[in-house]
């Protein structure tokens, strides 16, 4: 039995727990949420993980075997780094946060000090195994485009520059490096950051972001070229009803990763 703790109980966290509630190899012992969300989280968990302790911080007396983060940028410094330093292995999906200068190195240092590992999950995109393997022999280019329904860009800088509700055709809202994309669109930059970390880095990875009023999907496309040859991947992800910025595949990638840690066979 693998005892897990989860940081964040939003659109991803709840969907993961719903899918895992009948897995007898996994026990959810703790969920960490921001102050002020405690009662709401307890209500949300009532039908799916009523046994879990809900708190503002991890209870290290009930040390988890594994910590899974699905909360956002602030949670990395607040909860993940201290857990790594105490030797608790962590799975992360807020990969966009790692474009902040120095944060990836701080995570790595914390994991080394704790003698443990931090695992960056593939989330909403696929092919990370191939991209990271291709990098071994050298990559020449990685070009990514992220296309989402117009409403997914609400509350981002595109909301100020474009009349998102009035768009009638796919519109490029950003073109530049993965580093710029991550700083301007942090909540939509997880895929760009994941491709950068697996491939050519934040400065050399090219990114184009598109608001598409004709689409109901989050479409991620990238092309990688290098000594290995080349490949292209298109992933047409369904958004979560609870958060249109987030693709359902992100939830499934966490469920897969937890299963791989808990079950006898990993794939």
Ligand X SMILES: NC(=O)C1=CN([C@@H]2O[C@H](COP(=O)(O)OP(=O)(O)OC[C@H]3O[C@@H](n4cnc5c(N)ncnc54)[C@H](OP(=O)(O)O)[C@@H]3O)[C@@H](O)[C@H]2O)C=CC1
31 binds, options ligand X, ligand OAA, none, Cβ within 5 to 8 A by partner type: none
Distances (CA, A) of 30 to 34, 64, 93, 104: 13, 8, 18, 25
Does 190 show up as a binding residue in the annotation? yes
CB neighbours (10 Å) of residue 111?
22
DSSP string, 44-94: HHTTT-TTSEEESS--GGG--SEEEE-S-HHHIIIIIHHHHHTT--EEE--
Rounded to a whole number of angstroms, the minimum distance from the CB of residue 27 to ligand X is 20
Does 243 show up as a binding residue in the annotation? no
32 binds, options ligand OAA, ligand X, none, Cβ within 5 to 8 A by partner type: ligand X
Residue range at the interface with ligand X (CB under 6 A); choices 26-34, 81-89, 161-169, 171-179 = 26-34
Residues 6+ apart with CB under 8 A from 259: 23, 25, 26, 266
Residue 220 annotated as catalytic: yes
Interface with ligand X: number of residues (CB under 6 A) = 30
Residue 98 CA to residue 204 CA, distance in Å, equals 16
Q: Which residues does the annotation place in the binding site for NAD(+)?
A: 124, 190
Interface with ligand X by CB under 6 A: which residues?
A: 7-13, 32-34, 70-72, 74-75, 78-79, 93-96, 123-124, 187, 190-191, 194, 243, 246, 250
Residues identified as active-site = 220
Interface with ligand OAA by CB under 6 A: which residues?
A: 96, 124, 146, 188-192, 218, 237, 245-247, 250
């Amino acid at each position: 039995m693998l005892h897990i703790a989860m940081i964040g109980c939003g659109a991803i966290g709840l969907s993961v727990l719903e899918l895992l509630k009948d897995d007898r190899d996994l026990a959810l012992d703790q969920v960490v949420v921001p102050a002020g969300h405690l009662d709401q989280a307890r209500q949300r968990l009532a039908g799916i993980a009523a046994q879990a302790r809900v708190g503002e911080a991890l209870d290290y007396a009930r040390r988890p075997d594994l910590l899974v983060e699905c909360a956002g940028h602030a949670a990395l410094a607040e909860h993940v780094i201290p857990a790594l330093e105490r030797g608790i292995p962590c799975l992360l999906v807020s990969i966009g946060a790692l474009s902040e200068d120095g944060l990836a190195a701080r995570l790595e240092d914390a994991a080394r000090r704790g003698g443990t590992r931090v695992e960056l999950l593939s989330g909403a995109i696929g092919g990370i195994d191939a991209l990271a393997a291709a990098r071994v022999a050298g990559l020449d280019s990685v070009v990514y485009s992220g296309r989402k329904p117009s409403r997914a860009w609400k509350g981002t800088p595109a909301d100020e520059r474009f009349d998102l509700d009035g768009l009638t055709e796919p519109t490029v809202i950003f073109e530049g490096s993965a580093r710029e994309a991550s700083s301007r669109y942090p909540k939509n930059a997880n895929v760009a950051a994941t491709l950068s970390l697996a491939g050519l880095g934040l400065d050399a990875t090219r990114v184009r972001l598109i608001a598409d009023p004709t689409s109901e999907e989050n479409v991620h496309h990238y092309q990688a070229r290098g000594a290995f040859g080349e490949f292209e991947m298109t992933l047409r992800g369904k958004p979560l009803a609870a958060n249109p910025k987030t693709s359902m595949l992100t939830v499934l990638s966490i469920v897969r990763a937890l299963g791989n840690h808990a079950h006898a066979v990993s794939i």
